[in-house]
Structure 1
Amino acid sequence: MRPSSPSGVRPPRLRVAVHLAGLAALAVLTACGPATQTAMSGGPPASRSSSEDPREDSSGDPVGEAPEDSYEDQGPSGGSTTSGGSTSTSTSEVDVDRDDMEPAVVTSVRYAAHDTYDRVVIDLDGDVPGYNVKWVDEFVQDGSGRPIDVRGGAYLQITLFPAHAHDENGVPTWKGGPVYPADLDNLTDVVRTGDFEGRVGIGLVLARQAAFQIQEQGGPNRLVLDVAH
Protein backbone atom coordinates (compact mmCIF):
# COMPACT_ATOMS: atom_id res chain seq x y z
CA MET A 1 0.00 0.00 0.00
CA ARG A 2 1.27 3.49 -0.78
CA PRO A 3 0.10 6.88 0.43
CA SER A 4 -2.14 9.22 -1.48
CA SER A 5 -0.57 11.56 -3.97
CA PRO A 6 -0.29 15.24 -2.88
CA SER A 7 -3.29 16.21 -4.93
CA GLY A 8 -5.30 13.28 -3.58
CA VAL A 9 -6.36 12.09 -7.03
CA ARG A 10 -4.41 11.36 -10.20
CA PRO A 11 -5.85 12.90 -13.36
CA PRO A 12 -7.65 10.23 -15.37
CA ARG A 13 -7.60 9.42 -19.05
CA LEU A 14 -11.29 8.97 -19.74
CA ARG A 15 -12.92 6.88 -22.40
CA VAL A 16 -16.53 7.65 -21.58
CA ALA A 17 -19.31 7.04 -24.10
CA VAL A 18 -21.96 9.55 -23.06
CA HIS A 19 -25.59 9.51 -24.21
CA LEU A 20 -27.96 11.95 -22.56
CA ALA A 21 -30.99 9.60 -22.55
CA GLY A 22 -32.98 9.42 -19.36
CA LEU A 23 -32.03 12.83 -17.92
CA ALA A 24 -35.57 14.23 -17.96
CA ALA A 25 -36.49 12.05 -15.00
CA LEU A 26 -33.58 13.54 -13.07
CA ALA A 27 -34.11 17.24 -13.72
CA VAL A 28 -34.71 17.87 -10.04
CA LEU A 29 -31.22 16.69 -9.10
CA THR A 30 -27.76 18.33 -9.22
CA ALA A 31 -24.33 16.69 -9.42
CA CYS A 32 -20.56 16.67 -8.92
CA GLY A 33 -17.74 14.46 -10.35
CA PRO A 34 -16.14 12.97 -13.50
CA ALA A 35 -18.55 10.55 -15.29
CA THR A 36 -21.89 8.68 -15.05
CA GLN A 37 -24.35 6.14 -16.64
CA THR A 38 -27.35 3.58 -16.67
CA ALA A 39 -29.20 0.54 -18.30
CA MET A 40 -31.60 -2.36 -17.49
CA SER A 41 -31.24 -5.99 -16.65
CA GLY A 42 -32.69 -8.93 -14.83
CA GLY A 43 -31.24 -11.62 -12.57
CA PRO A 44 -31.50 -14.59 -10.17
CA PRO A 45 -32.62 -15.20 -6.40
CA ALA A 46 -30.98 -13.65 -3.29
CA SER A 47 -28.68 -14.59 -0.43
CA ARG A 48 -27.38 -12.19 2.22
CA SER A 49 -24.50 -12.10 4.67
CA SER A 50 -22.91 -9.20 6.53
CA SER A 51 -20.91 -8.74 9.71
CA GLU A 52 -20.90 -4.92 9.84
CA ASP A 53 -23.08 -1.91 9.11
CA PRO A 54 -21.40 -0.03 6.22
CA ARG A 55 -23.94 2.75 6.59
CA GLU A 56 -21.63 4.20 9.26
CA ASP A 57 -17.95 5.06 9.05
CA SER A 58 -15.38 4.13 11.67
CA SER A 59 -16.46 7.07 13.84
CA GLY A 60 -20.11 6.03 13.74
CA ASP A 61 -21.15 8.92 11.49
CA PRO A 62 -23.62 8.23 8.65
CA VAL A 63 -22.00 7.96 5.23
CA GLY A 64 -24.41 10.29 3.52
CA GLU A 65 -23.65 13.54 5.34
CA ALA A 66 -22.16 16.25 3.12
CA PRO A 67 -19.53 17.47 5.66
CA GLU A 68 -18.04 13.96 5.96
CA ASP A 69 -17.96 13.45 2.21
CA SER A 70 -16.39 16.92 1.71
CA TYR A 71 -18.47 18.17 -1.17
CA GLU A 72 -21.94 19.47 -1.91
CA ASP A 73 -24.72 17.06 -1.07
CA GLN A 74 -26.05 16.67 -4.59
CA GLY A 75 -27.14 13.73 -6.68
CA PRO A 76 -27.09 12.61 -10.34
CA SER A 77 -27.96 15.17 -12.98
CA GLY A 78 -24.96 17.10 -14.26
CA GLY A 79 -23.87 20.65 -13.78
CA SER A 80 -21.28 21.37 -11.14
CA THR A 81 -17.53 20.74 -10.96
CA THR A 82 -15.39 19.36 -8.12
CA SER A 83 -11.72 18.58 -7.58
CA GLY A 84 -12.39 15.31 -9.39
CA GLY A 85 -13.42 17.04 -12.65
CA SER A 86 -16.57 17.91 -14.57
CA THR A 87 -19.81 15.95 -14.33
CA SER A 88 -22.09 14.33 -16.89
CA THR A 89 -24.96 11.91 -16.49
CA SER A 90 -26.28 9.43 -19.04
CA THR A 91 -26.96 5.77 -19.68
CA SER A 92 -23.56 4.70 -21.01
CA GLU A 93 -20.55 2.78 -19.73
CA VAL A 94 -17.80 4.66 -17.87
CA ASP A 95 -14.19 3.55 -18.46
CA VAL A 96 -11.18 5.22 -16.82
CA ASP A 97 -7.70 3.76 -17.42
CA ARG A 98 -4.69 4.40 -15.20
CA ASP A 99 -1.38 2.70 -15.97
CA ASP A 100 1.91 2.37 -14.07
CA MET A 101 0.54 2.75 -10.55
CA GLU A 102 0.61 0.67 -7.41
CA PRO A 103 -2.68 -1.13 -6.73
CA ALA A 104 -5.10 0.76 -4.50
CA VAL A 105 -6.60 -1.10 -1.56
CA VAL A 106 -10.35 -1.05 -0.96
CA THR A 107 -10.79 -0.64 2.79
CA SER A 108 -14.59 -0.35 2.95
CA VAL A 109 -17.72 0.30 0.92
CA ARG A 110 -20.38 2.46 2.59
CA TYR A 111 -23.84 3.59 1.51
CA ALA A 112 -26.74 5.81 2.60
CA ALA A 113 -30.03 7.15 1.27
CA HIS A 114 -30.64 10.79 0.30
CA ASP A 115 -33.89 12.48 -0.74
CA THR A 116 -33.61 11.67 -4.44
CA TYR A 117 -30.66 9.28 -4.74
CA ASP A 118 -28.66 6.60 -2.93
CA ARG A 119 -24.92 7.13 -2.36
CA VAL A 120 -22.16 4.51 -2.35
CA VAL A 121 -18.68 5.47 -1.10
CA ILE A 122 -15.68 3.25 -1.90
CA ASP A 123 -12.87 4.05 0.56
CA LEU A 124 -9.34 3.59 -0.78
CA ASP A 125 -5.83 3.32 0.60
CA GLY A 126 -3.57 4.68 -2.15
CA ASP A 127 -4.25 6.63 -5.32
CA VAL A 128 -7.59 6.32 -7.09
CA PRO A 129 -7.14 3.48 -9.62
CA GLY A 130 -8.75 2.99 -12.99
CA TYR A 131 -12.37 1.88 -12.98
CA ASN A 132 -15.14 0.63 -15.21
CA VAL A 133 -18.86 1.05 -14.50
CA LYS A 134 -21.44 -0.71 -16.64
CA TRP A 135 -24.80 -2.45 -16.53
CA VAL A 136 -24.82 -6.25 -16.69
CA ASP A 137 -27.42 -9.01 -16.86
CA GLU A 138 -26.19 -10.68 -13.66
CA PHE A 139 -23.23 -10.69 -11.28
CA VAL A 140 -20.65 -13.47 -11.55
CA GLN A 141 -17.68 -14.33 -9.35
CA ASP A 142 -14.35 -13.16 -10.74
CA GLY A 143 -12.19 -16.14 -11.60
CA SER A 144 -14.82 -18.90 -11.43
CA GLY A 145 -17.46 -17.11 -13.49
CA ARG A 146 -20.21 -18.62 -11.30
CA PRO A 147 -23.42 -16.58 -10.99
CA ILE A 148 -23.92 -14.80 -7.66
CA ASP A 149 -27.29 -15.50 -6.12
CA VAL A 150 -28.92 -12.06 -5.81
CA ARG A 151 -32.16 -10.69 -7.22
CA GLY A 152 -32.98 -7.19 -8.39
CA GLY A 153 -34.44 -5.10 -11.19
CA ALA A 154 -31.07 -3.84 -12.48
CA TYR A 155 -27.40 -4.66 -11.91
CA LEU A 156 -24.58 -2.11 -11.95
CA GLN A 157 -21.04 -3.53 -12.00
CA ILE A 158 -18.08 -1.45 -10.78
CA THR A 159 -14.59 -2.83 -11.41
CA LEU A 160 -11.46 -1.16 -9.96
CA PHE A 161 -8.01 -1.82 -11.46
CA PRO A 162 -5.29 -2.12 -10.35
CA ALA A 163 -6.75 -2.74 -6.91
CA HIS A 164 -6.96 -5.26 -4.08
CA ALA A 165 -9.38 -5.84 -1.22
CA HIS A 166 -6.76 -7.59 0.94
CA ASP A 167 -3.42 -6.75 2.56
CA GLU A 168 0.05 -8.17 1.83
CA ASN A 169 -0.74 -11.21 3.99
CA GLY A 170 -3.96 -11.95 2.11
CA VAL A 171 -6.19 -10.74 4.96
CA PRO A 172 -9.35 -9.06 3.62
CA THR A 173 -9.43 -5.29 4.07
CA TRP A 174 -13.08 -5.05 3.01
CA LYS A 175 -14.63 -7.36 5.56
CA GLY A 176 -17.93 -9.22 5.65
CA GLY A 177 -20.04 -10.06 2.64
CA PRO A 178 -19.95 -11.13 -0.06
CA VAL A 179 -23.52 -9.73 -0.05
CA TYR A 180 -24.18 -6.63 2.07
CA PRO A 181 -27.88 -5.76 2.52
CA ALA A 182 -28.51 -2.05 1.95
CA ASP A 183 -32.33 -1.83 1.85
CA LEU A 184 -32.32 1.75 0.56
CA ASP A 185 -34.85 3.37 -1.77
CA ASN A 186 -33.23 1.97 -4.94
CA LEU A 187 -30.07 0.21 -3.76
CA THR A 188 -31.08 -3.10 -2.22
CA ASP A 189 -27.70 -4.87 -1.89
CA VAL A 190 -23.99 -4.31 -2.43
CA VAL A 191 -22.03 -7.37 -3.61
CA ARG A 192 -18.30 -8.09 -3.57
CA THR A 193 -18.03 -9.85 -6.92
CA GLY A 194 -14.29 -10.41 -6.75
CA ASP A 195 -10.78 -9.61 -5.55
CA PHE A 196 -8.76 -11.36 -8.22
CA GLU A 197 -5.64 -10.63 -10.27
CA GLY A 198 -5.47 -6.95 -9.39
CA ARG A 199 -9.16 -6.25 -9.93
CA VAL A 200 -11.84 -5.62 -7.31
CA GLY A 201 -15.46 -6.08 -8.36
CA ILE A 202 -18.35 -4.28 -6.63
CA GLY A 203 -21.91 -4.98 -7.71
CA LEU A 204 -24.88 -2.75 -6.94
CA VAL A 205 -28.25 -4.51 -6.90
CA LEU A 206 -30.97 -1.99 -7.68
CA ALA A 207 -34.74 -2.13 -7.57
CA ARG A 208 -34.95 -0.23 -10.85
CA GLN A 209 -32.96 1.38 -13.63
CA ALA A 210 -31.85 4.93 -12.88
CA ALA A 211 -29.21 7.41 -14.01
CA PHE A 212 -26.04 7.59 -11.95
CA GLN A 213 -22.81 9.53 -11.60
CA ILE A 214 -19.39 8.56 -10.31
CA GLN A 215 -16.90 11.05 -8.92
CA GLU A 216 -13.39 10.95 -7.50
CA GLN A 217 -12.69 12.59 -4.15
CA GLY A 218 -9.47 13.12 -2.20
CA GLY A 219 -8.41 13.55 1.42
CA PRO A 220 -8.93 10.61 1.92
CA ASN A 221 -9.13 9.12 -1.55
CA ARG A 222 -12.43 7.52 -2.48
CA LEU A 223 -14.89 6.94 -5.30
CA VAL A 224 -18.44 8.18 -4.77
CA LEU A 225 -21.31 6.84 -6.85
CA ASP A 226 -24.81 8.32 -6.66
CA VAL A 227 -27.72 6.51 -8.25
CA ALA A 228 -31.13 8.14 -8.60
CA HIS A 229 -34.26 6.70 -7.01
Structure 2
Amino acid sequence: MNRTLVPLALVPLFLLAGCGSATQTAPPSSGAPATTAPVVTPTITPGSTPAGLRPPTSTKEIEVERTTVASPTVTGARFGRHQGFDRVVIDLAGDVPGYTARWVPELVQDGSGDRIDVKGGAYLQLTMSPAIAHTGAGKPTWTGGPIFQAQLGNVQSVVKTGDFEGVVGVGIVLDHRAPFRVLEQKSPNRLVIDVAH
Protein backbone atom coordinates (compact mmCIF):
# COMPACT_ATOMS: atom_id res chain seq x y z
CA MET A 1 0.00 0.00 0.00
CA ASN A 2 1.42 3.41 -0.96
CA ARG A 3 1.38 5.85 1.98
CA THR A 4 2.19 9.52 2.10
CA LEU A 5 3.71 11.05 5.21
CA VAL A 6 1.70 13.91 6.68
CA PRO A 7 3.30 16.47 9.00
CA LEU A 8 2.48 15.68 12.63
CA ALA A 9 0.91 19.14 13.02
CA LEU A 10 -1.93 18.08 10.68
CA VAL A 11 -2.77 14.82 12.49
CA PRO A 12 -5.06 16.42 15.17
CA LEU A 13 -7.07 18.15 12.41
CA PHE A 14 -7.85 14.83 10.74
CA LEU A 15 -8.78 13.16 14.01
CA LEU A 16 -11.21 15.96 14.89
CA ALA A 17 -12.76 16.28 11.47
CA GLY A 18 -13.65 12.66 10.97
CA CYS A 19 -13.25 13.36 7.26
CA GLY A 20 -12.24 10.91 4.54
CA SER A 21 -10.41 11.22 1.29
CA ALA A 22 -10.32 15.04 1.10
CA THR A 23 -10.56 17.58 3.89
CA GLN A 24 -10.68 21.36 3.57
CA THR A 25 -10.54 24.05 6.23
CA ALA A 26 -10.94 27.78 6.32
CA PRO A 27 -7.53 29.49 6.70
CA PRO A 28 -6.77 32.00 9.47
CA SER A 29 -7.67 35.55 8.49
CA SER A 30 -4.91 37.89 7.42
CA GLY A 31 -7.22 40.88 7.35
CA ALA A 32 -8.40 40.31 3.77
CA PRO A 33 -11.51 38.17 3.25
CA ALA A 34 -10.76 34.68 2.00
CA THR A 35 -13.19 32.89 -0.26
CA THR A 36 -11.45 29.62 -1.04
CA ALA A 37 -10.20 27.07 1.46
CA PRO A 38 -6.95 25.20 0.81
CA VAL A 39 -7.13 21.48 -0.01
CA VAL A 40 -5.39 19.06 2.35
CA THR A 41 -5.22 15.36 1.47
CA PRO A 42 -4.90 13.06 4.50
CA THR A 43 -3.54 9.51 4.45
CA ILE A 44 -6.86 7.73 4.93
CA THR A 45 -7.94 4.81 2.79
CA PRO A 46 -10.10 6.13 -0.07
CA GLY A 47 -13.75 5.29 0.43
CA SER A 48 -13.43 4.98 4.20
CA THR A 49 -16.26 6.35 6.33
CA PRO A 50 -16.13 7.77 9.87
CA ALA A 51 -16.98 5.04 12.38
CA GLY A 52 -18.48 2.97 9.55
CA LEU A 53 -21.38 5.39 9.03
CA ARG A 54 -23.61 4.89 6.02
CA PRO A 55 -24.98 7.80 3.99
CA PRO A 56 -27.97 9.60 5.55
CA THR A 57 -31.46 8.56 4.42
CA SER A 58 -33.84 11.34 5.53
CA THR A 59 -34.58 14.80 4.09
CA LYS A 60 -36.70 15.73 7.14
CA GLU A 61 -35.90 19.11 8.69
CA ILE A 62 -34.44 19.06 12.21
CA GLU A 63 -35.04 21.32 15.21
CA VAL A 64 -33.31 20.99 18.61
CA GLU A 65 -34.11 23.57 21.29
CA ARG A 66 -31.54 24.16 24.01
CA THR A 67 -30.61 26.86 26.50
CA THR A 68 -27.07 27.39 27.75
CA VAL A 69 -25.57 29.48 30.56
CA ALA A 70 -23.23 31.22 28.10
CA SER A 71 -23.60 31.43 24.33
CA PRO A 72 -21.33 28.90 22.63
CA THR A 73 -18.83 30.36 20.16
CA VAL A 74 -18.44 29.14 16.59
CA THR A 75 -14.71 28.98 15.86
CA GLY A 76 -14.64 27.54 12.36
CA ALA A 77 -15.94 25.08 9.81
CA ARG A 78 -14.35 22.16 7.97
CA PHE A 79 -15.62 19.87 5.25
CA GLY A 80 -14.64 16.69 3.45
CA ARG A 81 -15.88 13.95 1.17
CA HIS A 82 -16.64 10.37 2.22
CA GLN A 83 -17.96 7.33 0.43
CA GLY A 84 -21.61 8.17 -0.25
CA PHE A 85 -21.78 11.49 1.61
CA ASP A 86 -20.08 14.82 2.32
CA ARG A 87 -19.41 16.09 5.85
CA VAL A 88 -19.43 19.66 7.21
CA VAL A 89 -18.06 20.14 10.75
CA ILE A 90 -18.88 23.29 12.77
CA ASP A 91 -16.31 23.76 15.56
CA LEU A 92 -17.55 25.18 18.87
CA ALA A 93 -16.08 26.62 22.05
CA GLY A 94 -18.53 25.99 24.88
CA ASP A 95 -21.66 23.85 24.94
CA VAL A 96 -23.52 22.65 21.86
CA PRO A 97 -26.28 25.21 21.13
CA GLY A 98 -29.80 24.60 19.94
CA TYR A 99 -30.08 24.37 16.15
CA THR A 100 -32.35 23.96 13.18
CA ALA A 101 -31.52 22.47 9.79
CA ARG A 102 -34.07 23.30 7.11
CA TRP A 103 -34.40 23.62 3.35
CA VAL A 104 -34.58 27.18 2.04
CA PRO A 105 -35.15 28.54 -1.50
CA GLU A 106 -32.03 30.77 -1.27
CA LEU A 107 -29.46 31.95 1.27
CA VAL A 108 -29.93 35.37 2.84
CA GLN A 109 -27.78 37.43 5.19
CA ASP A 110 -29.08 37.32 8.77
CA GLY A 111 -30.20 40.72 10.00
CA SER A 112 -30.38 42.50 6.64
CA GLY A 113 -32.22 39.79 4.71
CA ASP A 114 -30.07 40.55 1.66
CA ARG A 115 -29.73 37.66 -0.80
CA ILE A 116 -26.32 35.96 -0.84
CA ASP A 117 -25.20 35.50 -4.44
CA VAL A 118 -24.17 31.85 -4.52
CA LYS A 119 -25.44 29.33 -7.06
CA GLY A 120 -26.61 25.84 -6.21
CA GLY A 121 -29.27 23.25 -6.87
CA ALA A 122 -30.45 23.20 -3.22
CA TYR A 123 -29.76 25.10 0.00
CA LEU A 124 -29.65 23.69 3.53
CA GLN A 125 -29.67 26.36 6.25
CA LEU A 126 -28.21 25.54 9.68
CA THR A 127 -29.16 28.07 12.37
CA MET A 128 -27.58 27.85 15.84
CA SER A 129 -29.03 29.61 18.88
CA PRO A 130 -27.90 30.77 21.32
CA ALA A 131 -24.52 31.13 19.63
CA ILE A 132 -22.01 33.78 18.61
CA ALA A 133 -19.09 33.94 16.17
CA HIS A 134 -17.22 36.91 17.69
CA THR A 135 -15.37 37.93 20.84
CA GLY A 136 -16.66 40.41 23.43
CA ALA A 137 -14.68 43.07 21.54
CA GLY A 138 -16.49 42.21 18.30
CA LYS A 139 -13.57 40.38 16.62
CA PRO A 140 -14.72 37.41 14.48
CA THR A 141 -13.88 33.97 15.87
CA TRP A 142 -14.68 32.26 12.56
CA THR A 143 -12.43 34.06 10.10
CA GLY A 144 -12.43 34.21 6.32
CA GLY A 145 -15.33 33.78 3.95
CA PRO A 146 -18.17 34.41 3.93
CA ILE A 147 -18.19 31.83 1.10
CA PHE A 148 -15.90 28.81 1.39
CA GLN A 149 -15.66 26.74 -1.81
CA ALA A 150 -15.93 23.00 -1.13
CA GLN A 151 -16.62 21.34 -4.53
CA LEU A 152 -17.27 17.92 -2.99
CA GLY A 153 -19.61 15.17 -4.18
CA ASN A 154 -22.75 17.22 -3.36
CA VAL A 155 -21.63 20.07 -1.06
CA GLN A 156 -20.46 22.89 -3.33
CA SER A 157 -19.91 25.69 -0.76
CA VAL A 158 -20.24 26.48 2.94
CA VAL A 159 -21.45 30.03 3.66
CA LYS A 160 -21.46 32.17 6.79
CA THR A 161 -24.94 33.67 6.62
CA GLY A 162 -24.76 35.61 9.84
CA ASP A 163 -23.77 36.29 13.42
CA PHE A 164 -26.62 38.46 14.68
CA GLU A 165 -28.40 38.80 18.04
CA GLY A 166 -27.26 35.47 19.46
CA VAL A 167 -27.87 33.51 16.26
CA VAL A 168 -25.18 32.10 13.94
CA GLY A 169 -26.20 30.96 10.46
CA VAL A 170 -24.39 28.54 8.15
CA GLY A 171 -25.67 27.84 4.65
CA ILE A 172 -24.71 24.65 2.86
CA VAL A 173 -24.90 24.99 -0.91
CA LEU A 174 -25.64 21.67 -2.61
CA ASP A 175 -25.57 20.42 -6.16
CA HIS A 176 -28.95 18.78 -5.46
CA ARG A 177 -31.34 18.14 -2.57
CA ALA A 178 -30.43 14.91 -0.77
CA PRO A 179 -30.85 13.16 2.60
CA PHE A 180 -28.89 14.65 5.51
CA ARG A 181 -28.29 14.20 9.23
CA VAL A 182 -26.95 16.35 12.07
CA LEU A 183 -24.74 14.75 14.73
CA GLU A 184 -23.50 16.27 17.99
CA GLN A 185 -19.94 15.34 18.92
CA LYS A 186 -17.95 16.08 22.09
CA SER A 187 -14.33 16.59 23.17
CA PRO A 188 -14.14 19.05 21.48
CA ASN A 189 -17.76 20.10 20.96
CA ARG A 190 -18.93 20.35 17.37
CA LEU A 191 -21.92 19.90 15.11
CA VAL A 192 -21.55 17.55 12.14
CA ILE A 193 -23.79 17.75 9.09
CA ASP A 194 -23.62 14.84 6.67
CA VAL A 195 -25.26 15.16 3.24
CA ALA A 196 -25.67 12.21 0.88
CA HIS A 197 -24.24 12.34 -2.62
How do 1:142-157 and structure 2 match up within 5 A? 142-157=110-125
Query: Alignment partner for residue 76 of structure 1, among 39, 55, 62?
Result: 55
**Contact persistence 2:68–2:130 (CA under 8 A):** no
SS at 1:164 equivalent: coil
**Distance 1:65-1:196 versus aligned 2 partners, 3 A rule:** farther
SS at 1:72 equivalent: helix
Residue 212 in 1 paired to residue 180 in 2? yes
Aligned-residue offset at 1:102: 1.2
Structure 1 runs (4+) greater than 4 angstroms displaced? none
**More contact order relative to length (CA 8 Å, sep ≥ 6):** 1
Whole-Å separation in 2 of the counterparts to 1:228 and 1:97: 25
Whole-Å separation in 2 of the counterparts to 1:207 and 1:160: 23
Whole-Å separation in 1 of the counterparts to 2:66 and 2:190: 15
Whole-Å separation in 2 of the counterparts to 1:75 and 1:159: 25
- Corresponding residue of 1:134: 102
1:90-128 Cα deviation digits (max 9, x unpaired): 222100001243111011100001111000001000000
- Corresponding residue of 2:83: 115
Query: Alignment partner for residue 35 of structure 2, among 28, 50, 70?
Result: 50
Whole-Å separation in 1 of the counterparts to 2:137 and 2:168: 17
Structure 1 runs not aligned, ≥5 long: 1-47, 78-88
**Distance 1:65-1:164 versus aligned 2 partners, 3 A rule:** farther
**Contact persistence 2:36–2:149 (CA under 8 A):** no
Whole-Å separation in 2 of the counterparts to 1:52 and 1:183: 10
How do 1:14-29 and structure 2 match up within 5 A? none
**Contact persistence 1:90–1:212 (CA under 8 A):** yes
TM-score, normalised with respect to structure 1? 0.66
Tell me which amino acid in the other structure corresponds to 1:204.
I
Aligned-residue offset at 1:159: 0.3
Query: Alignment partner for residue 177 of structure 1, among 145, 149, 164?
Result: 145
**Contact persistence 1:154–1:207 (CA under 8 A):** yes
Question: Which has the larger share of strand?
Answer: 2
- Corresponding residue of 1:199: 167
How do 1:25-104 and structure 2 match up within 5 A? 49-50=34-35, 52-53=37-38, 62=42, 72-77=51-56, 89-104=57-72
Structure 2 runs not aligned, ≥5 long: 1-32
Equivalent residue pairs, number: 161
**Contact persistence 2:68–2:95 (CA under 8 A):** no
Aligned-residue offset at 1:51: 6.0
How do 1:8-19 and structure 2 match up within 5 A? none
Aligned-residue offset at 1:158: 0.1
SS at 2:51 equivalent: coil
Aligned-residue offset at 1:209: 1.1
**Contact persistence 1:157–1:204 (CA under 8 A):** yes
**Distance 1:95-1:65 versus aligned 2 partners, 3 A rule:** farther
1:49-80 Cα deviation digits (max 9, x unpaired): 52643x65xxxx85x969xxxx6142434xxx
1:159-218 Cα deviation digits (max 9, x unpaired): 000001111111111110011000111000000000000000000000011101110000
